Amino acid sequence: MRCPFCQSDETKVLDTRLSDDRAQVRRRRECSSCGERYSTREIFDLNLPRLIKKDGSRETFDEYKLRSGLLKALEKRNVKAEDIETAVHNIIHKLTIQSENEIHSKVLGEWVMDALKQLDEVAYIRFASIYRQFQDVEAFRKEIDKLMK
């Protein structure tokens, strides 16, 4: 790691900690040349698969879109933020352990629905109604009946 003050390559790590969300490593460093101290943050470089959409197009996985979809479904529901973050991290973990370079968005959608089913049944129905494109009340009824079993 190069010192941001004197550009020396001689630095040492004084302290290493995981961030609160455990997605970053924070390192406190000291330059051996000038003695200045500074912090660096490292993020994990995950090689996530690309998503194959319904229309056959492909796009890179976007964690923001995943979190946004979950938050929309869970809007005004009594679910802890940490439970939502756990669900996001679990889904991302499933993506990282996939051996394929591409995955169908349908698979990801099913994982999201499974997570929502565990978090909140109303949010699950909300998401399912859009994801599965319910056209009438009967489709809602069928999904609720499946949920009740």
d(CA 128, CA 23): 29
Residue 77: predicted pLDDT: 93
- Please indicate, yes or no, whether residues 39 and 68 belong to a single structural domain of this protein: no
Q: Is 4 within a domain?
A: no
Q: What is the largest CA-CA distance in the chain?
A: 72
Tokens, residue 79: 């679910």
How many structural domains is the chain composed of? 2
Residue 45: predicted pLDDT: 67
Taking CA atoms, 61 is separated from 6, 77, 115, in Å, by 38, 26, 18
Q: Is 106 within a domain?
A: yes
In a structure prediction context, what are the per-residue pLDDT tens digits for the chain, which is 149 residues long? 899 999 999 999 999 998 776 678 999 999 999 999 999 988 776 678 899 998 999 999 998 999 999 999 999 999 999 999 999 999 998 988 887 889 999 999 999 999 999 999 899 888 888 877 777 788 778 888 887 77
- Please indicate, yes or no, whether residues 33 and 54 belong to a single structural domain of this protein: no
Tokens, residue 124: 């699950």
Q: Is 137 within a domain?
A: yes
Residue 32 structural domain: 11-43
Taking CA atoms, 141 is separated from 32, 110, 114, 125, in Å, by 68, 19, 18, 10
Q: Is 122 within a domain?
A: yes
